[in-house]
Chain A
Amino acid sequence: MSDSLLQIDNVTVSFQGFKALDSVSFSLAPGSMRTIIGPNGAGKSTLMDTIIGRVRPVSGRILYKGSDITRLPEYEVVRRGICRKFQTPGILPTLTVEENIIVAAKRHRAWFKALRTHITAAECDRVEEILDLIVLREKRRMLAAHLAHGAKQWLEIGMVVASDAELLLLDEPAAGMTHQEREKTANLIKRLIGRCAFVVIDHDMDFVEQLNAPVSVLHMGRILCEGTIDEVRSNSQVKSVYLGRSLEAEADYAQA
């Protein structure tokens, strides 16, 4: 079909008549990044749900590496190489940091292949690498439930990366973080560019700016405009969507 890794064609999602997504289309090249911003209720999370197979569109289709994944179950979508990070940290609280990553890094996910106590050398290397990447090596034996909030987010990013996905969907990866933590998160993501492609959603403009990637603005389920962060900031339509509030104010609101 095309060279794009992910292609979204005219996807519409409707909840009891309310169009959460309305003819959304965009595509993403391998190894690239796209950020999506928009106010609460704009449909950002629904977009991710739709890509991953959690929500079924009423029309339109989603192509991944040229094949149609619109109606596959979640785990099947994931097995093809798309992985998603949740807004609230989606870690496994009763496992240790290390075990969390192992679960994500495992190649064979059928239950009967899990009937062993040890993991392969390749998986082991992978785990070590991820631990370094997310800088949680010292806390590897700690239960994930006891990590600080920021560390939980990084752990989840680590898990997503460990799953060897080619496309990562990050849903507000910096939500609820301190300023320093945000910076750290942004750096973490930037280090990963090239290794895999990203779709990042957030409403924190500053954070999105740090990522330095093309931006789409989503509003009322539609893509309002696309471009660099500066282009988007100066777009009058975007400004009016935010009800006259400046985007900086919106960003502050999000941080509060």
Chain B
Amino acid sequence: MARLERIAYPAALVLLLLAPVYLGAYNLALLGRFLAMGILAMGIALVWGHAGILPLGQGLFFGLGAYGIAMHLKLVALAPGEIPDFMQWNGLDALPWLWVPFKSGVIALVGALVVPSALAVALGWLLFRRRVGGVYFAIITQAMVLAATTFIISQQPYTGGFNGLTDFSSAFGFSLIDQRTQVGLYVVTVLLLALLFFTARWLLSTQFGKLLRAIRDGENRVRFLGYDPAPYKVAIFAVGALMAAIAGLLFTLNIGVISPAMIGVVPSIEMVVWVAVGGRESLSGAVLGTLLVNFGKDKVSSSFPDLWLYLIGAMFVLVVTVLPEGLAGIARLLTSEPREESRKTLVVPVILPADEPAKNSKSRSA
């Protein structure tokens, strides 16, 4: 009954939009934050679940979006001619050229979205064109996020270093201290989430979406049908990066701080776990997984810090071994018999640069 689905999604949307009515300020802020991360998680579901590309560096795109808007917020809080305080403490006396364009809110917004997407296109183009995929790609994205974090920390006079950027007062004329701004931001987050959710669903229903899954399951087959898979992969990787950047932007506006600790190797891989918990192919699962893991962390980690770390580790192992379809899989098990045509496993074939399954590789030395 598609009718029920037609009720469920609007109902969820209304429930979320009414949250300011029934949630306290703190929990509303929390929910807004996690829903913003849900946007990023949907991006991972697209890239990983549907295109079979495991991104271990989404934190970088998240961070670029976040830093883009944070730089602007840092500048609008200043009197004319002043420079951000951390620059003074680092011995700078003029605003670095890189910062100058961010005085304009429009440029900052556009930059916060375009720069990460462009970087994703560049990286994807460099790697997918050379048929670097699978674990190779995953590891390179991880190394990339590590290098980026190290770089941001080392460029303290220009980036705020390890402390990151914080202490914002207003954004686009709205005071960030005002609770109404926070509610407005929350509503914007929910609406953006909904918009991107339906856009992503549409994207998956197009031929493009089918080809993504086709490339995931048989890249060579698709290639031998006359398609060049690289642009498809680059495109979806860029979409994932854009969604991460949007999340970073909203997140920073919401919480008022961005620092390298939020975009490193560990946060980046944790983002994948949210999606794994929700079900890697399911967009709504990705959002729910994000909410569940983050609320869980918020509630559990303070009372049982040790337990939490075991829990998150076990989650990685269990979700991958027993529940490759995550929450979405549980939902299916609980509600109905497995579909006749549902796949037994979610085996994503090894896509090595040579495009040969690993077991067929022929190098002589072991």
Instruction: Enumerate chain A interface residues (CB-CB to B < 8 A).
Output: 16, 52, 73-75, 78-79, 83-84, 86, 90-95, 99, 102-104, 106, 109-112, 114-117, 119, 142-143, 145-146, 159, 163
Contact = CB atoms under 8 A, between A and B. Distances in A.
Contacts, number: 93
Interface of B: 202-203, 205-208, 210-211, 213-214, 216-218, 220-228, 231-232, 235, 340-341, 343, 364
Contacts of B202: 117
19 contacts: A73-B228, A75-B223, A83-B226, A86-B221, A90-B218, A90-B220, A92-B222, A93-B217, A93-B218, A94-B216, A95-B213, A95-B217, A102-B210, A104-B225, A110-B231, A114-B207, A119-B207, A143-B343, A163-B226
B224 A117 contact: no
A84 B341 CA distance: 27
B18 to A, nearest CB: 32
A116 B206 contact: yes
Contacts of A74: 223-224
A189 to B, nearest CB: 18
Nearest to B341: A143
B341 A109 contact: no
Contact of A94 (B203, B217, B220, B231): B217
A115 B364 CA distance: 43
A100 to B, nearest CB: 8
A102 B223 contact: no
Contact of B224 (A78, A95, A111): A78
Closest CB pairs A-B (n = 5): A78-B226, A114-B208, A114-B207, A90-B221, A92-B214
B210 A95 contact: yes
Contacts of A99: 210
Contacts of A83: 224-226
Contacts of B207: 102-103, 106, 114-117, 119
Given A111-B208, A143-B341, A79 B218 contact: no
Contacts of B214: 92, 94-95, 103
A93 B223 CA distance: 15
Contact of B221 (A79, A91, A111, A115): A91
A112 B226 CA distance: 15
A114 B226 contact: no
Given A75-B227, A102-B210, A115-B207, 20 more contacts: A75-B226, A75-B228, A84-B224, A90-B220, A90-B221, A91-B221, A92-B214, A92-B221, A93-B217, A94-B217, A95-B213, A95-B217, A106-B207, A110-B231, A114-B206, A116-B207, A117-B202, A142-B341, A145-B343, A146-B341
Nearest to A156: B221
Contacts of B203: 115
Given A92-B218, A95-B213, A117 B341 contact: no
A223 to B, nearest CB: 25
B130 to A, nearest CB: 12
A106 B207 CA distance: 9
Contacts of A75: 223-224, 226-228
Contacts of B340: 146
Contact of A103 (B220, B222, B235, B343): B222
A62 to B, nearest CB: 16
B223 to A, nearest CB: 5
A94 B208 contact: no
Contacts of B218: 90-93
Contacts of A112: 235
A84 B224 CA distance: 7
A33 B213 CA distance: 34
B137 to A, nearest CB: 18
B208 A115 contact: yes
Contacts of A114: 206-208, 211, 232
A117 B340 CA distance: 25
Which of B203, B205, B223 counts the most A-chain CB atoms under 10 A from its CB?
A: B223
A95 B212 CA distance: 11
Contacts of A95: 210, 213-214, 217
A16 B208 CA distance: 40
Contacts of A145: 341, 343
Nearest to B202: A117
B227 to A, nearest CB: 5
A169 to B, nearest CB: 9
Contact of B206 (A90, A93, A117): A117
A109 B229 CA distance: 10
A143 B339 CA distance: 11
Contact of B225 (A93, A119, A142, A159): A159
B224 A52 contact: yes
B343 A78 contact: no
A237 B190 CA distance: 76
A106 B225 CA distance: 9
B235 A111 contact: yes
A109 B226 contact: yes
Contacts of A102: 207, 210
Contacts of B222: 92, 103
Contacts of B208: 111, 114-115
B359 to A, nearest CB: 13
B249 to A, nearest CB: 25
B227 A109 contact: yes
Nearest to A90: B221
Which of B208, B210, B231 counts the most A-chain CB atoms under 10 A from its CB?
A: B210
A105 to B, nearest CB: 9
Contacts of B205: 117
